[in-house]
């Protein structure tokens, strides 16, 4: 659900960057509110759409910011704010239980090692070449205004996904569960840049090299994630049998307490 809503939010942002529309501003606010309900850290994605508004093609005037940011904030507030009010009234707390459980000294660990591990988990040993290639393509794409604006939008979402990952402590369950948004957006940015490069290149040999690189990255990703998925299926962190046995223990305890 988080990945789906991130994709919807980013798509609305890209459409808004291409052709501003007040209806999209409202829809983006609703989606940002729903996204904030999926996970506590997902509220960070709400900051991405204002970046789109700030880079409005008509110019970031104060009037434009008010006219577009207002509907977005109101729509977001109606969805997420109403839930916050309910949680405060019903549970007596502004934050969910998971916040208290994960509030540790290992939060905000933005070490370069964690960043490299994150990229390597996406592309394997090709992490450094891929990062260098992405940096080079971003520099080249700056001359194309439409592509640069598109990269700003996707880049804002990607940076917020990385920030959410660094904000939370390392996950004991493994497999970068807290980096769900990163994988979606990282592949999106890389694929978008490769598509732009292929369209910009007229020479058949150069196009062939771009297509070959894309296929290699695709096959490499399938191999990496396929192997890790099968390994995790054979040795899950918490097997379902263990979950079922724990539920049975709770049921036995409840029955014993009921008989007292």
**Residue 174's CB: how many other CB atoms inside 10 A?**
11
**Residue 156's CB: how many other CB atoms inside 10 A?**
22
Burial of 73: CB neighbours in 10 Å, binned 0-12, 13-18, 19+: middle
How high is the pLDDT of residue 2? 92
Cα separation, 48 vs 159, whole angstroms: 9
How high is the pLDDT of residue 102? 64
Please provide residue 224's backbone torsions phi and psi, each rounded to the nearest 5 degrees.
Answer: -60, -55
Length, in residues, of the chain: 260
* 260 residues of the chain, pLDDT tens digit each: 999 999 999 999 998 888 878 888 899 999 999 999 998 888 899 998 888 777 766 665 666 677 778 888 899 999 999 999 998 999 888 888 777 766 655 556 666 777 777 888 888 777 788 878 888 888 877 777 777 788 888 888 998 998 888 887 777 777 777 888 899 999 898 888 888 888 777 777 778 888 888 888 888 888 888 888 888 888 888 888 888 998 999 999 988 888 77
Task: Kindly tell me the sign of the dihedral angle through the C-alpha atoms of 94, 97, 99, 100.
Answer: positive
3-state secondary structure 31-66: HHHHHHHHCHHHHHHHHHHHHHHHCCCCCCCHHHHH
């Amino acid at each position: 659900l988080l990945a789906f809503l991130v994709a919807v939010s980013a798509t609305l942002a890209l459409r808004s960057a291409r052709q501003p529309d007040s209806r999209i501003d409202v829809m983006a606010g609703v989606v940002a509110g729903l996204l904030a309900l999926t996970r506590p850290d997902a509220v960070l994605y709400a900051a991405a759409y204002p970046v789109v508004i700030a880079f409005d093609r008509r110019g970031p005037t104060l009037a434009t910011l008010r006219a577009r940011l207002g509907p977005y904030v109101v729509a977001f507030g109606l969805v997420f704010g109403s839930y916050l009010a309910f949680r405060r009234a019903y549970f007596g707390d502004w934050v969910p239980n998971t916040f208290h459980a994960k509030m540790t000294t290992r939060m905000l660990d933005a070490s370069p090692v964690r960043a490299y591990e994150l990229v390597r988990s996406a592309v394997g040993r090709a992490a450094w070449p891929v990062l260098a290639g992405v940096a080079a393509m971003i520099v080249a794409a700056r001359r194309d205004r439409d592509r640069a604006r598109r990269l700003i939008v996707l880049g804002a979402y990607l940076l917020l996904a990385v920030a959410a990952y660094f904000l939370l402590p390392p996950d004991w369950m493994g497999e970068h569960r807290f980096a769900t948004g990163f994988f979606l957006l990282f592949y999106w940015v890389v694929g978008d840049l490769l598509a732009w490069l292929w369209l910009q290149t007229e020479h058949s040999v150069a196009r062939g090299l771009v297509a070959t690189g894309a296929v290699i990255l695709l096959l490499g990703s399938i191999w990496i994630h396929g192997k890790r998925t099968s390994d995790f299926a054979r040795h899950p962190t918490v097997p379902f049998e263990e979950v079922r046995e724990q539920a049975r223990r709770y049921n036995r305890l409840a029955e014993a307490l009921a008989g007292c």
